[in-house]
Amino acid sequence: MYTFLRNKKVIGVSLVFACFLFVGFGCKERLTEYNTSLTIWGVFDLEGDYREVSNIYTEAHPFVEHVTFRKFTIDTYKDDLINALAAGNGPDIFMIHNSWLPAFADKVSVAPQSIVSAQDVRSQFVDVVAADTIRDDQVFALAPSVDSLALYYNKDIFNAAGITSPPETWEEFDDVVTRLTRIGDDGRILQSGAALGTAQNVSRPTDILTALMMQGGAEMRSGQSAAFNRSVGSGSSFINPGRDALLYYTTFARGGSSVYTWNNRQHHSIDSFFEGTTAMTISYSYNYDTIRTKNEKLNFAIAPLPQIDNNTLGQQANYGNYWMYVVAKNRPIPEKRSDEKFQITNDMKVWESWQFLKAFTLAGAGELPLVSSLDGSSYTVELSSDLAATYLAQTKKPAARLDLLEAQKNDQRFGAFALGNLIARSWERNNADAIDGIFFEMIDNVNRGQNIDKVLDLGAQRTTQLLR
């Protein structure tokens, strides 16, 4: 047992140089000491969400003194981050949305293969994480959590209508919507079967539309071109899944359709759901606490996102919307302290940042192999708890790691999202916010009565311009 800084214990050490013992004298194995700290920037989380994670890690790690988190507001975060990185004043580690990686790829350091390999990610995380974080067999990012879409439903409204279970397919969904929608003599929607069909007052409508396209078998992009407007299949199975998805989504807001249940005059989908005037809404896990806080007496449950029945051309699919952690290429290096033997370099910071992210997302509890960023010495420390599990319990988020997801699958709160994460997908795009705006306009334009084929083709053309 070797004791280092702040009484931290290293349970094993293997130096890069040989240590030979001779009669009468010998040499003592000892790692070269240094001190560093790591800073994480991000959104939505609180500083306290990382306190226990930091305490567990720094207690185990002999040379990392602090891991601190700084929260930013979502409205300014991206600009603040880009400006800080350009000025050399950025953090060691920062959060990016899973759709942002193409825009930040030249600003981050890839994981050293000896710390995290592409195979590590593919074998231990849900597929969407591997698809989003690996480029040319190199790992660019890691994520402890993934969020996906699920169906929130009002159990009291279901019970009053004699509906015993939530819909599993879109065909069943249509039937439930029809049975639960109530429209007054004046044409006003008194009770909505589902908050679906518009862009203005639905939570993440573009994500729902994308999930429908993916379920139908749409290829979102082909090379540098958008492809969601293209037909697929052959013969009697020849369909246009992007068109079908856009038509289906907007049907719920089309007056006179059999499933007409929503329009732009309704309150926002989350509001109308917790107010008890809407039977179903589709959203992410982060809205659970919002709904519960706004109406603690609301009797609701969560079910997996419906899928296409007897899907022959498409597949089961959900949409993954989450935040990843990356390591900055360049960051400010603090001046050498008087009690330090060595100056911390940028390469050392990168190395220690990736070692932390491995512990934070992959390692689990127990022995954690580490390598000194100064002299390459290898050693092993003991993590008292699984850092990812600790973080997920604190923030109440669905897991990205498969073993943790398995434990959430039967949980009343997380089960639907855990199942959704297993089939979650995303697609690479350089300017995700602008493309979201294009999808938003496609929904609006179809609802205004514009020709759906022209709307879809124009949307694909505009998206292609942003992909190139």
- The model's pLDDT over 423-453, given as tens digits with 9 standing for 90+, comes to 999 999 888 999 999 999 999 999 999 999 9
Percent of the chain with pLDDT over 70: 90
Confidence of residue 19 (pLDDT cuts 50, 70, 90): very low
CATH classification code of 2-19+30-144+322-395:
3.40.190.10
Where b means 16+ CB within 10 Å and e means fewer, 369-396 reads ebbbbbeebebebebebbbbbbbbebbe
Q: Which CATH number fits domain 150-319+429-467: 3.40.50.300, 3.40.190.10, 3.10.129.10, 3.40.1080.10?
A: 3.40.190.10
Whether 271 and 278 have beta carbons less than 8 Å apart is answered as no
Q: What local confidence, expressed as pLDDT, does residue 375 receive?
A: 83
Percent of the chain with pLDDT over 90: 81
pLDDT in tens, 102-145: 889 999 999 999 999 999 999 999 999 999 999 999 999 999 99
Q: What local confidence, expressed as pLDDT, does residue 14 receive?
A: 47
Whole-number Å distance between alpha carbons of 422 and 405: 9
Confidence of residue 4 (pLDDT cuts 50, 70, 90): very low
Over residues 263-274, the mean pLDDT reads: 98
CATH 3.40.190.10, the chain: domain bounds:
2-19+30-144+322-395, 150-319+429-467
Over residues 10-26, the mean pLDDT reads: 43
Q: What local confidence, expressed as pLDDT, does residue 231 receive?
A: 93
Convert 209-267 into a string of H (helix), E (strand) and C (coil).
Answer: HHHHHHHHCCCCEECCEECCCCCECCHHHCECHHHHHHHHHHHCCCCCCCCCCCCCCCC
Whole-number Å distance between alpha carbons of 254 and 37: 56
- Residue 3: pLDDT over 70: no
Confidence of residue 311 (pLDDT cuts 50, 70, 90): confident
Over residues 269-279, the mean pLDDT reads: 98
Over residues 410-425, the mean pLDDT reads: 97
